[in-house]
Structure 1
């Protein structure tokens, strides 16, 4: 189930990359959140007996709401733009830095300590990412140079910061509350934030036009199904049947699992050194959970 969760994230990343290039990241965000909320509500009804998180306390609503705004609104706003600019493979790889930034944020905000092993994990994760980014711009003779736009890299970094800080606030607000319902609260807040943003920027015409693109809409449905529904549900099942460390490690393998899909679907040429970089980065992230 942990591997299914990782594959769910791969399916969502690829689907949202394709849809984002067709209709833009803003349309992708609002549509996938609404679709994801529908899937989550259906799951919650069968798992918890209630479709919506009406049993949360004020504290849980407050901190999970802040988490949803920072992580699923700001973080995903940047991350999905990165999908469009950098693609699923590179964005997913950069997102392996989330445990690194989360650990550093917890050290600064919550006063949690960093062990020697976690320090090594940070170095490995960042080293793997830099290996791919560096060699991605050093193609051999006759090969097309792969370009990583600065805007795309900054958006991916923004996604990492947003998701990491979102996790910190989730930890404060979650405690003994149900993870599925907590995800619903985060999604609801993020949806409201995107509605306000789209209204301020006057982009409803663009969103409406995007929803009429049948090809993009199919990819959005697929992404919403694999991400918030399959990914989250599989993660919860895995956590009930295995230790959190094993689940976290297996579910973080998406940067490696996404490579063959990008080769066959997007016809991307991936060098062995880039595969090695992805393995090193995922290995570093795994050290946080072992």
Structure 2
């Protein structure tokens, strides 16, 4: 039950944070915003980092740092870059393969045993995410030719692979060491931020600091989507196999239907069908 609630909670805070990040997307490049996000999140986790028993789990810490580099620094950067080339609809379509790849990978790499209902749940939730992607506004499409679209597809696929690789590394450490999900999250963030630190020199601080609004939204998005979200994610990795865990967290695009009216996006029958499929996938996976 703890893993289920953590996964759904992570999906909800990521949905809210995504709406906030969209509102500040013009304040800097995707890589720059990713760097600021990870820096703020690491600072908020500083008390956890200071109290860590660094010498007791050296191999685990090293793997978590690597997990942060791959899953957070590289994976998030690939994803944000793909959004700029493909738009929301196509990027989410590619991202929907994540739960299926997670289920397959958990069997091949982690020796997890998954019942047939977990596979059905993964297909249902993936179908729901695909429907939400198809419902996305046509204005988000890339119209600058085939080359940007091809590049975007490759970037989006690399984002999926990077995110899953980081997830498998984190789950391995959580199962093999005494590190808590909160400690694991802090170490992963630190690893991702250390790699991105050189980008700070090129960050347009004047654009971020000209108005109070952008900074407030950036801080709120960081706390919700990164600090709270990644802590819940680590709890999911400890309590659930990667496949079902990733499947449940993949309901974030479906949960965006809840805030769609606030953004002037009318819910269409396709969106309602996606919500039903997502709920069915959650039920099949967890019951």
TM-score tier by shorter-chain length is 0.7 to 0.9
The more displaced of 162-171 and 97-106 is 97-106
TM normalised by structure 2 equals 0.74
Residue pair 1:96, 1:281 contacting (<8 A) in 2 also? no
Q: Please list the CA deviations of residues 147-168 of structure 1 after superposition, one character each: whole Å capped at 9, or x if unmatched.
A: 4443555544333222111111
Return the match for 2:224 from 223, 226, 240. Answer: 226
Question: Is residue 275 of structure 2 the alignment partner of residue 273 of structure 1?
Answer: no
Q: In 2, distance between residues paired with 1:239 and 1:30? A: 24
In the superposition, relative to structure 1, how do residues 271 and 17 fare at CA in structure 2: closer, same or farther (>3 Å)?
same
Residue pair 2:72, 2:163 contacting (<8 A) in 1 also? yes
Q: What is residue 27 of structure 1 aligned with on the other side?
A: 32
Residue pair 1:39, 1:228 contacting (<8 A) in 2 also? no
In the superposition, relative to structure 1, how do residues 100 and 237 fare at CA in structure 2: closer, same or farther (>3 Å)?
closer
C-alpha RMSD of matched pairs (Å): 3.7
CA drift at 1:186: 0.8
The more displaced of 178-187 and 88-97 is 88-97
Gaps of 5+ in 1: 137-143
* Partner secondary structure for residue 54 of structure 1: coil
CA drift at 1:68: 1.0
Q: Please list the CA deviations of residues 163-198 of structure 1 after superposition, one character each: whole Å capped at 9, or x if unmatched.
A: 1111111122222321111111111111111124x3
In the superposition, relative to structure 1, how do residues 86 and 9 fare at CA in structure 2: closer, same or farther (>3 Å)?
farther
Return the match for 2:214 from 216, 222, 229. Answer: 216
Question: Is residue 65 of structure 2 the alignment partner of residue 65 of structure 1?
Answer: yes
Gaps of 5+ in 2: 143-148
The more displaced of 159-168 and 121-130 is 121-130
In the superposition, relative to structure 1, how do residues 227 and 85 fare at CA in structure 2: closer, same or farther (>3 Å)?
same
Q: What is residue 193 of structure 2 aligned with on the other side?
A: 191
* Partner secondary structure for residue 110 of structure 1: coil
Return the match for 1:264 from 262, 265, 268. Answer: 262
Counting matched residue pairs gives 269
Q: What is residue 145 of structure 2 aligned with on the other side?
A: none
Q: Please list the CA deviations of residues 37-68 of structure 1 after superposition, one character each: whole Å capped at 9, or x if unmatched.
A: 122234x38xxxx5456355121022212211
